[in-house]
């Protein structure tokens, strides 16, 4: 099992203990998982040490692609201090921060640099307007974290762990595209495949049960592919779903 899977198992174990439904994991397995969790945290701390005082590191629990919980160290730049929130510049129920243009430029710069210079570790980047920050997903890399921190300037950037790089996800997406005829023959007519910023694929189809069954059988139960409802159930290639070299996205 991977470090992330081991941490997820520990979280399930803790939750189950609180309700009295936990499996009786041997003490040795729990100890091994705690060691693995510390190793993942150490990767984030190592990045912070390499960068110096320009970041802080916290521990976060987020929703994983399969609906479970994933624990990961989060590196935050100094722009994420207590006073980083910017007064909204537009009225209404969904106000935009006054620094949105700067955040957009930063997002594009990190996305371009991540794919061009750090393709082995870069996963994705997103803009969180309510939190007034840019969030970057990557495989652990002190060098990439240092580069992102240097790009951040006064803006808040969160750097979050991911299990797969975008390059890996693009290769898997292209493999699924190549298997389209075989999947269709097995009853899975998918409309699109999207690469999410946080590091998995979303395959959209109306054939949910068949899709889950065939994806697990063909690519393995741990493949980073989520089968989600959507589309007319007819194979097509869109701007965000085409194979590598057709219409790459961030």
pLDDT tens-place string over residues 56-89: 655 444 445 454 545 567 889 988 875 555 555 5
What gap in Å lies between CA 173 and CA 245, rounded to an integer? 12
Same domain, 91 and 185: no
Given 138, 161, 184, the domain boundary residue is 161
What gap in Å lies between CA 157 and CA 51, rounded to an integer? 14
Same domain, 86 and 173: no
The verdict on residue 214 lying in a domain is: yes
Same domain, 176 and 116: no
The verdict on residue 240 lying in a domain is: no
Same domain, 152 and 29: yes
Confidence of residue 130 (pLDDT cuts 50, 70, 90): confident
Given 161, 183, 213, the domain boundary residue is 161
Same domain, 72 and 187: no
HEC secondary structure over 162-203: CCCCHHHHHHHHHHHHHCHHHHHHCCCCEEEEEECCCCCEEE
What gap in Å lies between CA 240 and CA 248, rounded to an integer? 7
Same domain, 204 and 106: no
Same domain, 146 and 189: no
* pLDDT for residue 241 is more than 80: no
* pLDDT for residue 146 is more than 50: yes
Same domain, 56 and 151: yes
Confidence of residue 14 (pLDDT cuts 50, 70, 90): very low
Quote the domain boundaries for residue 120: 3-161
Q: If you ran DSSP here, which 8-state letter would residue 79 be given?
A: G
The verdict on residue 97 lying in a domain is: yes
Q: What is the DSSP string of 15-34?
A: HHHHHT------HHHHHHHH
CB-based contacts of 198, cutoff 8 Å, min separation 6: 62, 65, 123, 124, 126, 137, 160, 162
Confidence of residue 248 (pLDDT cuts 50, 70, 90): very low
User: Is the whole-model pTM more than 0.85?
Assistant: no
Same domain, 75 and 183: no
Q: And the tokens for 47?
A: 């990045």
What gap in Å lies between CA 45 and CA 22, rounded to an integer? 31
Question: How many structural domains compose the chain?
Answer: 2
Same domain, 79 and 143: yes
The strand ranges marked E within the chain are 55-63, 69-77, 122-128, 133-138, 157-161, 190-195, 201-205, 225-229
Given 125, 145, 161, the domain boundary residue is 161
Same domain, 133 and 13: yes
pLDDT at 15: 43
């Amino acid at each position: 099992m991977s470090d992330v899977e081991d941490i997820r198992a520990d979280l399930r174990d803790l939750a189950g203990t609180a309700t009295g439904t936990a499996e009786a994991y041997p003490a040795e397995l729990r100890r091994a998982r705690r060691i693995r969790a510390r190793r993942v945290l150490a990767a984030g701390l190592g990045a912070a040490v390499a960068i110096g005082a320009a970041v802080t590191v916290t521990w976060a629990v987020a929703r994983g692609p399969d609906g479970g919980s994933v624990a990961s160290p989060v590196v935050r730049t100094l722009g994420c201090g207590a006073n980083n929130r910017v007064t909204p510049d537009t009225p209404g129920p969904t106000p935009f921060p006054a620094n949105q243009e700067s955040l957009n430029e930063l997002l594009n710069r990190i996305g371009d640099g991540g794919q061009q210079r750090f393709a082995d570790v870069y996963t994705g980047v997103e803009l969180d307007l309510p939190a007034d920050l840019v969030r970057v997903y990557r495989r652990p890399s002190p060098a990439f974290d240092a580069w992102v921190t240097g790009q951040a300037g006064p803006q808040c950037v969160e750097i979050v762990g991911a299990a797969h790089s975008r390059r890996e996800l693009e290769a898997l997406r292209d493999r699924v595209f190549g298997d389209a005829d075989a999947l269709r023959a097995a009853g899975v007519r998918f409309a699109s495949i999207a690469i999410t910023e946080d590091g998995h694929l979303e395959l959209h189809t109306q054939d949910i049960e068949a899709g889950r069954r065939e994806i697990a059988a063909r690519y393995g139960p741990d493949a980073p592919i989520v089968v989600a409802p959507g589309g007319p159930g007819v194979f097509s290639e869109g701007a965000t779903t085409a194979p590598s070299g057709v219409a790459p996205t961030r």
